[in-house]
Structure 1
Amino acid sequence: MHQVEQAIAALINRSSPASRRKMNSALARKLRQRQQISIQKQQAPDGTPYAPRKNKKPGKRVMFRRLRTVRFMKTRSTPDDMTISFAQSTQNIARVHHYGLREKIETKGRKLEIKYARRQLIGITPHDVEIIGTEIIDFLSK
């Protein structure tokens, strides 16, 4: 298997930087769509449901409705890598929920420190790795 990986890496490196960037861009968009779907379903990438909101009626409001949009969930690709991240304005919200951190907020003149439940927003699953492999093979076969 190691020899196959080396052969594929050599084929990828022989392609032009522009075509590698195009491949990475397509992969990033596909993976972002998968992440958006899991956020829409209120599930971590591994399929486990998010912890419910505290003191809220279940099913009333969907969490991260705007955070999963293309406006806030950004992709960046170069010939050598690709990145899926949140826009600068929403990175703190995403980080606090993704890792289950504490955040200081001010509401109605009161300062509170809230501990948020861990809700993994972005992640790579074994199925995503299969998709990446399939896309690379499709790219190389063209």
Structure 2
Amino acid sequence: MDDLQRLEGWLSPLLAKLTDAERRGLAREVARDLRAGNVASMRAQQTPDGTQWEPRKPNALREARGAVRRNAKKSAPMFQKLRAAKHLKAQGLTDEAVLQFVGRADRIARVHHFGLEDRVKPGGPTYRYPARPLLGITEAQMARIQELVLSHLSR
């Protein structure tokens, strides 16, 4: 959080000089960039800082289903649908850039992000999922945000 406060301290005087519309446009651009970075880390099956997620628990039914079509290659990556723009929204407001999961995807993402306990299926058994952080901000992304702000201000 210290890095985010440092970034905020650097940005605040610069952003104060922009109009509301310009700040919204910049926030939207930042949110889209953050979304792309987080989707890339989810696609790579790793946390935003680069460590690999704990692998999915083996399930014979999941492995057998569609094995002929997949030629029995390894199981499908996790969170394919969660990383779609339909579920992971990037929004730019005048005072903030927002990246969030919406609807039912929010609950699913929260359970997996924090490693909470949830029902496997409605009325079924509960399971404590391992923590697999889905969203975060890295040093590279903070540097990219600085570049976006500087390029936006130099226009």
User: 2:74 matched to which residue of 1?
Assistant: 59
Matched residues, percent identical? 32
The one-letter amino acid of 2:75's match is: K
| Cα distance, 1:8 vs structure 2 | 5.1
RMSD: 1.9
Count of residue pairs brought into register by the alignment: 136
User: 2:27 matched to which residue of 1?
Assistant: 24
Contact 2:29/2:92, CA 8 A, preserved across alignment: no
Q: Structure 2 CA distance, aligned partners of 1:111 and 1:8?
A: 49
| Cα distance, 1:75 vs structure 2 | 1.3
1:73 aligns with 2:88: yes
Q: Structure 1 CA distance, aligned partners of 2:147 and 2:130?
A: 35
1:86 aligns with 2:101: yes
Match of 2:16 among 13, 18, 23: 13
Contact 2:35/2:90, CA 8 A, preserved across alignment: yes
The one-letter amino acid of 1:67's match is: L
The one-letter amino acid of 2:37's match is: R
Q: Deviations over 1:56-107 (max 9, x none)?
A: 4683111000100101100121111011000112111000000001012447
User: 2:42 matched to which residue of 1?
Assistant: 39
Match of 2:130 among 106, 117, 120: 117
User: 1:133 matched to which residue of 2?
Assistant: 146
The TM-score normalised by the length of structure 1 is: 0.88
Tell me whether 123-132 or 54-63 shows the greater mean CA deviation.
54-63
The TM-score normalised by the length of structure 2 is: 0.81
Mark the runs of 5 or more structure 2 residues left unpaired by the alignment. Answer: 1-7, 64-72
The one-letter amino acid of 1:83's match is: V
Q: Structure 2 CA distance, aligned partners of 1:65 and 1:6?
A: 36
Q: Structure 2 CA distance, aligned partners of 1:60 and 1:106?
A: 20
| Cα distance, 1:11 vs structure 2 | 3.0
Tell me whether 65-74 or 53-62 shows the greater mean CA deviation.
53-62
The one-letter amino acid of 1:89's match is: R
Mark the runs of 5 or more structure 1 residues left unpaired by the alignment. Answer: none
